[in-house]
Every structure is written in C-alpha cells, then in structure tokens.
Structure 1
Amino acid sequence: MPIRPEHHFFYPIDWAQLSAAIRFGRAGGCREGCGRPHGQMVYHLGDGRWWDAQAGRWRNGWGRRIRIAAEADLPYRVRRTRVVLAAAHRNHDSSNNADANLAAFHRRSHGIRDRPEHQRRRTLFQRKARGDLFGGPYA
C-alpha cells in the first residue's frame, strides 16, 4: 500500500529496499500465510476464497484447501483482481522495522489487519475535531 505523504517521515530512508527484501526475499513473492502470488491476476469470491491456478484448487483466506459446492450462481460471483504485495508492520509501529515485525501482505489482508487501528485513530481524530469545534482549541 502506498505510504501517505504525511506519514513518510515515520519510515526509514531505505524503506523501499527493506520492503522488497521482505516481499521477495523472505516471502518469495507470495503473501505470507495464504500464498497469493504477487503481480498475478487471481479469481476470488470477494470473501477471502480464491482460485489457486497453480495448484488447481480453491483456497480460503489462510491458504488452506477448500471445497466449493457446485452452485448455480458461482460464475456470477467470481471476480478477478491483481495481487499486489506490501510490507506491513505487524504491531502498527512504523518505527519498529525488525524482521519479525514485518510481513508481506496483499491489499485485502493488509486492510483487514489494519482496520481496527485505523478506526481507533479516526475516532481519536474525530473526538479532537469535535472538541475544537464545540469547545475551542486544546491548550
């Protein structure tokens, strides 16, 4: 995921090289956990289940094999998306760039993993904005 301009100063100057080492060196160009391959088009059902063309089977969001019943509406539910890997901080602390704290996630899993933290920050900022609006600026 691209880093917002206002967050660039939180990341080290060599973040691009560090990210590439995690995504392609350690993870081998696949998402750690489910194994979705970087840069390839993947068929999915929108709920985490995806078609692993290399293995010729459906997988769930954690990469485990699953069986899908022959549903009449399956062709209408299948979507296609390009997998893009990003290096993510497991504990949401961008100053902690230890190898154990970094993981290769694709957009969906990165967003799901970061959702609680983003909601927490948004609530904090909204509360501060309401305070500025109704109670004046903070001292």
Structure 2
Amino acid sequence: MNIARLRHPLDSVELKGFVDALDPVNAVADASDGFVWRLQSDTGNATDVPVFGDEWLIMNLTVWRDVDALTAFMYQGRHRELLARRFEWFERVEEAMTALWWVEAGVRPTARDAELRLLRLREHGPTAHAFTLRKTFGPGE
C-alpha cells in the first residue's frame, strides 16, 4: 500500500495529468505479470477511499505475487513516468507512506488493514509484519 498527500484537490487543473493517467496506469497494472488484485471503489480506483480520516490523503492498495513483480511494474513504462512527476502532484512527507506485507492466497486486505500496517512500520521500522522495498522480508519470515 502507498498513500500520498495531495497538493491540490483531485478535480483541480493542477492534478489533471495525474487523474487522466489513473485508468491507463491501472489497466497496465491489472494486466501485469504477478498482479493479483487492487482496492477500488465504484470509480474504478481508490482515490475516494478514506485514509486516516484525512481528505487530502489518497491510497493505492494492491496485492502482487511477489516483490519482484511489484518492482517490475513500478519502475517501467507509464508508471515510471508518473513516478518521476509525483512531486508536482503530492507533498513531500518525512514519514513512511508505503508499507508492504505478505497475505495468504485469496486474502484481500482492507483499507484499515493497510493503515494499521503503515502505522506499525512507522513505529517499529521494517519488520516481517510491515516492510519496505529497501528492507524486505520473505513470506513466513
């Protein structure tokens, strides 16, 4: 899961490039090797799913086969292009905004599950319960 703090409202002209890219990037993710599932509301994404009760935060919550599949998607193609522009759309934040963890096959984490994992990561640093791309743990560790 990752969250981001918006610099402008989602319907603003400043975020048009990000909003216009959501559906195409999600379509690439959905078709990517190793992709399993993503949280989405009726809008087809999760930008309107509440995060920590803060209307300026948006969430992306996905399940991937493994860290390598997630990393391959993140740093290639259109997602990589958008990642390079993230500070146009989102504030720089000191605290952890991304947390990874293993789930059993068929499990679909909730937004609350994600919030709790991120809070745990912020409090204890990377552990098998919640980790980062820089410090990963294998399943069952």
Q: TM-score, normalised by structure 2?
A: 0.24
Higher strand share: 1
What TM-score results when the alignment is normalised by the length of structure 1? 0.24
Structure with greater contact order relative to length (CA < 8 Å, sep ≥ 6): 2
Rg larger in 1 or in 2?
1
